[in-house]
Amino acid sequence: CCQRRLTFESLPARQEYKQREELFTNPVGLCFCACRARDYSAPVNFISAGLKKGAAEEAELEDSDDEERPVKQDDFPKDFGPRKLKTGGNFKPSQKGFAGGTKSFMDFGSWERHTKGIGQKLLQKMGYVPGRGLGKNAQGIINPIEAKQRKGKGAVGAYGSERTTQSMQDFPVVDSEEEAEEEFQKELSQWRKDPSGSKKKPKYSYKTVEELKAKGRISKKLTAPQKELSQVKVIDMTGREQKVYYSYSQISHKHNVPDDGLPLQSQQLPQSGKETKAPGFALPELEHNLQLLIDLTEQEIIQNDRQLQYERDMVVNLFHELEKMTEVLDHEERVISNLSKVLEMVEECERRMQPDCSNPLTLDECARIFETLQDKYYEEYRMSDRVDLAVAIVYPLMKEYFKEWDPLKDCTYGTEIISKWKSLLENDQLLSHGGQDLSADAFHRLIWEVWMPFVRNIVTQWQPRNCDPMVDFLDSWVHIIPVWILDNILDQLIFPKLQKEVENWNPLTDTVPIHSWIHPWLPLMQARLEPLYSPIRSKLSSALQKWHPSDSSAKLILQPWKDVFTPGSWEAFMVKNIVPKLGMCLGELVINPHQQHMDAFYWVIDWEGMISVSSLVGLLEKHFFPKWLQVLCSWLSNSPNYEEITKWYLGWKSMFSDQVLAHPSVKDKFNEALDIMNRAVSSNVGAYMQPGARENIAYLTHTERRKDFQYEAMQERREAENMAQRGIGVAASSVPMNFKDLIETKAEEHNIVFMPVIGKRHEGKQLYTFGRIVIYIDRGVVFVQGEKTWVPTSLQSLIDMAK
């Protein structure tokens, strides 16, 4: 093989094949055969030429010479050259094995029979399956790599592809002849000079002004260095000689010799001992100066472009500012014109308000002027100080308008003109009936300073017992004047007069009932009258101490107060002052079937609507039914006429209302009377008895019991209908979702007002009014306001207290 290599080197025609062979051996040119290197210090030895070769051997030698002839890329076999292997990505998990062989895994790891077998166990623990390759997708090979014997003694790849059948099946390749040819020519061109022998022309790059403008920035090489880095000593050892710089900016200005014209071989380290030839033309100082001039020109172009862009932007900005200032100027001119017109109108009003003016200004004309200001000059009217303007112009006219006004005689006088001025002067930004801010609202100040003095004057002369004119007056103005002024009138003017009059009232001597001049104030004052109720009840109690039920005037005085007082206070008043008198009257009642006086009974029954049913039934149980049953027993023991007893029983029963008769205690007493009559009829079996008496009593008993049953059935039917109607209403609205909804539903069923108290809270909980009781709800529990603290109560107790 060494002999063949020397032969190749001596043939210039085979230089190309030599270079191609060296790609597959190594660039140094070492031989891959097993021969030893020559020892030239050894003596000369002769080698026998041997016998003459035969024809077959000479033919084989010629074949070997043909093989040594230089070849081209097209002469190589197709399976020779670089190819692309298909690796990991083409393998699938379903691949059970390789085609290279399937029997070798039977003996895989058979040598572990002489050991503990830990290797096989570890492989199986990590997911290895015998008969399959290693890896996530089982892409590893199963059989070891097979060796293939080379035909001759040539280098690697000299006789074509040396891949085995197993390698081709396990790692298939993709032919890429075009890529292989391109790579071959590229590698081949690197080892030889340019065949034309001409030098490369230098390449020039051009920059247009538009490119410099697009660049839009000054070159970093011309920027001023920072102070702390300006005096740094730098030693440059990158070139042939050592250079010293005293700032980083000098390094940035260092000239780099262009190397575009140098051939490729001169840029590489020489492989031989010859030195590289220096370039023929090199003027680094001139090139540096030229480059500096170019950079300065570029910088100047960029700066001029920036300055031009800045001036253009400034022109656009000034144009927009000019337009904006023109609009502002036009707006200011319009505002000045409008203000001039407004000022003329105000001056005209002031001129006409002078005492010596022949055409004085009236309130209606002033209202029209303000309407004009509001319609045509709205912005100026809203921005102006309307309070001062109204004080100067409107207030004197308003005082003159109400100078002869008597509110009690003409309660509607001035309502229209005040309503008109309300729309003109009231501040929309404040609540129309809001807070007491006189400095911000001209209308509130007008009412307080002009209208209110007339009201104060008339209230001081007003008699509380003549309440109708004052009530009508306030009803006419309640929707016009602010709420806080109405509250001031009621709290500071009306209520003290009423309180003083209640203190002077005497129910025994005054002929005018107190409710006639207190109750008309209920729609306006409502809860404000609560402090008056306690002294009224006290005076009525004192007047009832010597009262007798035969005097019906007490009922006429007390009846209007039943719906005014709370249910609890009314019931307590009745039990304390009326019920004892009625009980005493019933105790004096004499029951005589032959000559009955019913006046005392009528006096008591007449109070049925005033006192509660339970109180009336208690009076009957204590003072009436014992005497009545006793008289019945004594009458039945003296051979009575049962028809008269029946009429007497039915007559007394007809004296009571259905509500009293439906009470269980009253019903039990009448049933007890029927049982007494039945026992009396049954006990006189052998004695003489009125014919048909037993049948009449039995029929009476049956009839009364049937009436009671029918009445109970009718009551149950009514209750069922009411429940059904309430159920339909509840189903139509919604099912109570929380405790508050349940309370609201119960309040609707019992006709009790349930509403929140606006702006009132206790420990962060909203306060509600349930009838006349103040409550709040916390975690499904109702708390009622007591004397000193809040007391939890049940829903039924709350309903009873509200009733």
Q: Is 150 left (phi over 0), alpha (psi -120 to 50) or beta?
A: beta
Of these ranges, 41-50, 285-294, 439-448, the one predicted with the greatest mean pLDDT is: 285-294
Element at 244 (helix H, strand E): strand 243-245
Does 743 fall in a domain? yes
Segment 7-30 shows an average pLDDT of 43
* pLDDT the model gives residue 425: 77
Question: Mean pLDDT throughout 575-584?
Answer: 90
- 84-85 and 243-245 as β-strands: parallel, antiparallel, unpaired? unpaired
Number of Cβ atoms within 10 Å of the Cβ of 677: 25
Q: Which of 644, 632, 661, 656 has the alpha carbon at shortest distance from 696?
A: 644
Q: What is the pLDDT of residue 91?
A: 43
> Over pLDDT 70: what percentage of the chain?
68
Q: How confident is the model at residue 103 (pLDDT cuts 50, 70, 90)?
A: very low
Domain contains 760: yes
Instruction: Report how far residue 540's alpha carbon sits from residue 518's, in angstroms, rounded to the nearest whole number.
Output: 15
pLDDT score of 509 more than 80:
yes
Q: Render 460-490 in DSSP notation, one character per residue.
A: HT--TT-HHHHHHHHHHHTTTS-HHHHHHII
The mean per-residue pLDDT over the stretch 435-455 comes to 76
Measure the CA dihedral 166/167/168/172, to 10°: 130
d(CA 253, CA 301): 20
- Highest mean pLDDT out of 11-25, 383-397, 541-555: 541-555
Hey, is 126 helix, strand or coil?
Answer: coil
Closest listed residue to residue 71, CA positions, set 61, 83, 81 = 81
Q: Round to whole Å and give the CA distance between 642 and 647.
A: 9
What is the pLDDT confidence band of residue 183, given thresholds at 50, 70 and 90? confident
Q: 87: which 2 tokens?
A: 């690796």
Specify the amino acid at residue 692.
Answer: G
Q: Compute the mean pLDDT over every residue in the chain, rounded to the nearest whole number.
A: 75
Of the residues 529, 544, 559, which one is the last residue of a structural domain? Answer: 544
At 47, the amino acid letter reads I
- Cβ partners under 8 Å of residue 270, min gap 6: 276
pLDDT at 578 over 80: yes
Does residue 77 register a pLDDT over 60? no
In tens, the pLDDT along 549-561 reads 888 888 888 988 9
Cα(776)–Cα(768) distance, integer angstroms: 6
Within its chain, how far is the Cα of 505 from the centroid? 61
Q: In angstroms, rounded to a whole number, what is the distance separating the alpha carbons of residues 424 and 371?
A: 7
Range of the domain at 770: 739-801
pLDDT greater at residue 726 or residue 167: 167
Residue from 216, 191, 219, 197 nearest 23 by CA: 191
- Does 394 map to a domain? no
For 767, the enclosing helix (H) or strand (E) is strand 765-770
Q: What is the structure's pLDDT at 118?
A: 82
Please report which confidence band the pLDDT of residue 317 belongs to, taking 50, 70 and 90 as the band edges. very high
**How far apart, in whole angstroms, are the C-alpha atoms of residue 637 and residue 632?**
9
pTM: 0.49
DSSP tag of 450: I
* Total number of domains constituting the chain: 2
531 in any annotated domain = yes
d(CA 553, CA 562): 15
Give the tens place of pLDDT for each residue, 40-64. Answer: 666 665 555 455 555 555 555 555 5
Residue 316 — pLDDT band, cuts 50, 70, 90?
A: very high
For residue range 781-794, what is the model confidence (pLDDT) as tens digits?
888 887 778 888 88
What mean pLDDT do residues 702-711 have? Answer: 67
Q: Which of 525, 544, 563 is at the close of a domain?
A: 544
Element (H, E) at 647: helix 642-653
What is the separation of C-alpha 518 from the centre of its chain, rounded to a whole number of angstroms? 52
Residue 233 domain-assigned? Answer: no
Question: For the stretch 192-203, what's the b/e string if a residue is b when 16 or more beta carbons lie within 10 angstroms of its beta carbon?
Answer: eeeeeeeeeeee
Of 522, 544, 566, the residue that ends a domain is 544
Confidence at residue 386, expressed as pLDDT on a 0 to 100 scale: 60
pLDDT tens digits, residue range 647-660? 888 889 888 988 88
In a domain? residue 726: no
Amino acid making up residue 171: F
Task: Report which of 691, 641, 696, 655 is spatially closest to residue 674, judged by C-alpha positions.
Answer: 696
Average pLDDT of the segment spanning 677-693 = 62
What SS3 state is found at 309?
A: helix
Residue 520 lies in a domain: yes
**Residue of 251 and 100 predicted with greater confidence:** 251
Q: How confident is the model at residue 84 (pLDDT cuts 50, 70, 90)?
A: very low
- Contacts for 434 with CB less than 8 Å, ≥ 6 apart: 482, 483, 484
Is 124 a domain residue? no
**What is the C-alpha separation between 773 and 743, in angstroms, rounded?**
13
Between CA 471 and CA 474, with CA 472 as vertex, the angle to 5 degrees is 65
- What is the mean pLDDT of the segment spanning 171-199? 68
